[in-house]
Amino acid sequence: MPFTKRGKTHKTPKTRAIIKFLDEIDWMFELNNFEREIILKEYQPENEPNLAAEVKTDTTYKEITISIYPHFFTLDKQQQRKALLHELVHTILSKNHVSALALLKGTLTTESELDEMNEQETTRITHFLDQLFIGNLRYARKAYLNYGK
């Protein structure tokens, strides 16, 4: 399922490059069966002038939304790639983040739940690194290097 774009902007080579890049590496982050969307934000948050992108992940309904802010387009291609990669890494750690936010609201996460989250995240990262080291992620390397070309 490809990433789709919504917002008040027209499709441009910049947005096509983002969508193509994310489509080419999504399964590396186990997102290929998620409903996926890119939102181009028209305004930069005043309190976050360096915010390039942010991701929202719903693992229950298998949805991911990546918001791209105006600052993103001021970055060079290498910084853009790194910003997108950074957001994808958040998808690996999203359950842990949700648990921490729940704790702030007074909802307790049990030790066994934390252990399970830790194992899931560690397993995903281990698989990713194993595939990287044995050379099975050539497609991802190619997509990463070709971003924006």
What the block records as the tokens of 101 is 């936010």
In degrees rounded to 5, what are phi and psi of residue 61? -100, 5
Task: For 85-99, write each residue's pLDDT tens digit.
Answer: 999 988 888 777 778
d(CA 27, CA 30) in angstroms, rounded, equals: 4
Give exposure, 104-125, as e/b (b: 16+ Cβ within 10 Å). Answer: eeeeebeeeeeeebeeeeeebe
What the block records as the tokens of 76 is 């060079």
pTM above 0.85, yes or no: no
3-state secondary structure of 83: helix
Task: For 87-144, write each residue's pLDDT tens digit.
Answer: 998 888 877 777 877 788 888 888 888 888 888 888 888 888 888 888 888 888 888 8
